Amino acid sequence: MAKSRAPLHSMDLRGRLADGFVAGDWKGISWMRTFVMPSQPRTTRREQVWKNFPKVTRAWAGLTDAERARWEAFAVSVKPQNKTLGREGNWSGFDAYVSVNLVLGDAELSFVTQPPAIPLPNPPERFRLRNPSPGTVRIRWEPLPAGTLVDLWLIQTKPSRKAYPSKFRHLVYTDGTTGLHALTGIPTGTKVAVKGRAVRPDGGKSGYAQTEITI
């Protein structure tokens, strides 16, 4: 709902107008545009990630100097692997702490105060897809050590993207020791790609393995 901070018809509006427009102000200049549905909608999972962010930053503020120093050292030690961790360029201890704990919170695991053990895990090995029956895809990988999760993402590439968002959508954090996760209800003729990474309870995470298949 838009809010007016001046008499009606002043056009000094903020927010959404009915279902078709949004209005605001930028450096004293009023603007209005058509409303565009976000590519990353306000899902329950996304809202939980947003809620976790201030929790993680507050937790960082409560660390001791010694604990922060360990995170700074961890950030330096994994600098060559920043791309694997989802970041490129220089990393600070704060960056590393937030990145690790947001993933743990997303996976409904406890936050950690100590950096993950080095070496970090490798991506799931022999990561592959099978189509055992119509509309079903089985994702397989070599079983991982006890306690390790596999973070799975999916994208539909053909014949259209109507069934799924245009970017990878999160599927699940699943038990990595099983080496198996099944998807059902996928239309025949659909080309799908799946990527997955290993996530340890201490926050250590791998890069992604990725593969695709046409149903």
Give the burial string for 104-142 (b: 16+ CB within 10 Å, else e).
bbbbebebbeebbeeebbebbeebebeeeeeeebbbbbe
Q: How high is the pLDDT of residue 109?
A: 92
Kindly state whether residues 191 and 165 are assigned to the same domain. Answer: yes
Q: Cα(51)–Cα(109) distance, rounded to whole angstroms?
A: 15
Kindly state whether residues 22 and 51 are assigned to the same domain. Answer: no
- What is the pTM for the complete model shown? 0.72
Q: How high is the pLDDT of residue 60?
A: 96
pLDDT > 50? residue 98: yes
Q: In whole angstroms, how far apart are CA 186 and each of 19, 150, 154?
A: 32, 21, 12
Q: What CATH number should be reported for the domain holding residue 170?
A: 2.60.40.10
HEC-encoded secondary structure of 87-135: CCCCCCHHHHHHHHHHHHHHCCCCCCCCCCCCCCCCCCCCCEEECCCCC
Give per-residue pLDDT as tens, 52-70: 899 999 999 999 999 999 9
The parent domain of residue 26 ranges over 3-34
